[in-house]
């Protein structure tokens, strides 16, 4: 039955009882966006802009950036696009943006923090995004990675609004989940990056195979941070998505929806599996599975508890 549902998935994604939960795609360029749209993604939930510039010595010009961004906006053909500003540093070093030597790059000048050293880099990227939006008559949402304080979010939001774009921030640092209500006073949406949020919440390198049990997205502490963020989104009436790897696991996707997340974004090949699974469960079962997973002792128990609830109905 699941294989059939998967092959027949056409979107838009809704739970069996009709709650719409857009399943979007994580992309890095125009061709990948076209593939994602063919796979019935309802838009782009994470456009990782830095990936096109890995290995480049010099900053791309505004024109080159605008052309690349416009390609993705065009490919999304009027659907939602959430563009992330350069996430340079740590696991994604950019020669023209990242500081050369840091003892702890994951805790260093990465993501939005590169704008402290070089605010012009962020401004030029936002100019390019605005130009691409103008050319394609689209209104992308624009979010910053590795935000830690409300002041950073407010400064970023002002720069984004100035250009007529919609500002948001990623929830990758636990401080944002803890003060999500205050962040939502200054931005229009939040997007939870579970890959980094688990790294920083559990203090375990996301690239370490030895610590994979700690960065497991089923860790109840990570689920609690997702729940706190989603609750704040509900209070503010603003969208809270998940765009980390967690959203690609169909069972966990149901739990995230049960925690109150309003959209999911995953790699294109995972879209149909997530959408098909959501269409087979009721939102109330998702909520019950979320409660069970949150109360579990460890990731394995959380997974088992969610599976028991979601395969029962
Ligand atoms: C994340 O951290 O979960 C995320 C989506 O961003 P990236 O994997 O690109 O760091
Ligand atoms: Mg990240």
For the segment 65-82, what is each residue's pLDDT rounded down to a tens digit? 999 999 999 999 999 999
Predicted local distance difference test score (pLDDT) of residue 90? 85
Q: What is the ipTM of this complex?
A: 0.99
* CB of 194 shorter than 6 A to ligand 1: yes
CB 94 within 8 A of CB 54: yes
Give strand pairing partners of 80.
43
Question: Beta strand 23-27 with 263-267: parallel, antiparallel or unpaired?
Answer: parallel
* CB of 50 shorter than 6 A to ligand 1: no
- Positive or negative: CA dihedral 205, 98, 188, 40: negative
Question: Pick from 236, 223, 243: which is nearest to 184 by CA?
Answer: 236
Distance 278 CA to ligand 2 centre (A): 25
Distance 50 CA to ligand 2 centre (A): 11
Which portions of the chain are predicted below pLDDT 70? 1-7, 313
CB 269 within 8 A of CB 237: no
Q: Can you tell me which atom of ligand 1 is nearest the CA of 195?
A: 3
Distance 87 CA to ligand 2 centre (A): 8
Q: Can you tell me which atom of ligand 1 is nearest the CA of 243?
A: 5
Annotated catalytic residue within 243, 254, 266, 286: 243
Biggest CA–CA distance in the chain, Å, is 55
Write the residue with the smallest CA distance to atom 6 of ligand 1: 193
Measured distance CA(59)–CA(124) in Å, rounded: 10
Measured distance CA(272)–CA(269) in Å, rounded: 7
* CB of 195 shorter than 6 A to ligand 1: yes
* CB of 244 shorter than 6 A to ligand 1: yes
Is 195 annotated to bind a ligand? Reply is yes
266 labelled catalytic: no
Q: Can you tell me which atom of ligand 1 is nearest the CA of 196?
A: 2
* CB of 243 shorter than 6 A to ligand 1: yes
Predicted local distance difference test score (pLDDT) of residue 100? 78
Question: Pick from 24, 34, 133: which is nearest to 80 by CA?
Answer: 24
Residues 6+ apart with CB under 8 A from 100: none
CB 191 within 8 A of CB 247: no
Give the pTM.
0.97
- Positive or negative: CA dihedral 70, 72, 76, 82: negative
Predicted local distance difference test score (pLDDT) of residue 231? 98
Measured distance CA(302)–CA(60) in Å, rounded: 45
């Amino acid at each position: 039955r699941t294989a059939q549902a998967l092959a027949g998935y056409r979107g838009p994604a809704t739970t069996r009882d009709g709650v719409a939960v857009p399943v979007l795609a994580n992309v890095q360029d125009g061709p990948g966006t076209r593939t994602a749209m063919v796979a019935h993604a309802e838009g782009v939930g994470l456009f990782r802009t830095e990936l096109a510039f890995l290995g480049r010595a010099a900053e791309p010009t505004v024109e080159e950036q605008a052309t690349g961004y416009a390609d993705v906006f065009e490919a999304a053909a009027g659907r939602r696009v959430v563009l992330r500003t350069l996430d340079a540093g740590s696991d994604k070093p950019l020669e023209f943006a990242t500081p050369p030597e840091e003892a702890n790059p994951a805790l260093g000048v990465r993501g939005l923090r590169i704008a402290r050293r070089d605010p012009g880099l962020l401004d030029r990227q936002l100019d390019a995004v605005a130009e691409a939006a103008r050319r394609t008559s689209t209104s992308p949402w624009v979010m910053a990675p590795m935000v830690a304080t409300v002041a950073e979010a407010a400064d970023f939001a002002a720069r984004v609004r100035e250009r007529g774009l919609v500002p948001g921030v990623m929830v990758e640092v636990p401080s944002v989940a803890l003060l999500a209500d205050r962040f939502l006073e200054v931005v229009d949406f939040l997007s939870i990056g579970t890959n980094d949020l688990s790294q920083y919440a559990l203090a375990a390198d996301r690239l370490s195979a030895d610590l994979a049990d700690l960065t497991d997205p089923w860790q109840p502490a990570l689920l609690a941070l997702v729940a706190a963020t989603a609750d704040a989104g509900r209070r503010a009436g603003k969208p809270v998505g998940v765009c980390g790897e967690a959203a690609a696991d169909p069972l966990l996707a149901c739990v995230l929806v049960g925690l109150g997340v309003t959209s999911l974004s995953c790699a294109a090949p995972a879209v149909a599996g997530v959408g098909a699974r959501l269409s087979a469960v009721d939102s109330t079962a998702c909520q019950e599975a979320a409660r069970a997973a949150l109360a579990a002792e460890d990731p394995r128990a959380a997974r088992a508890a969610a599976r028991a609830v979601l395969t029962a109905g």
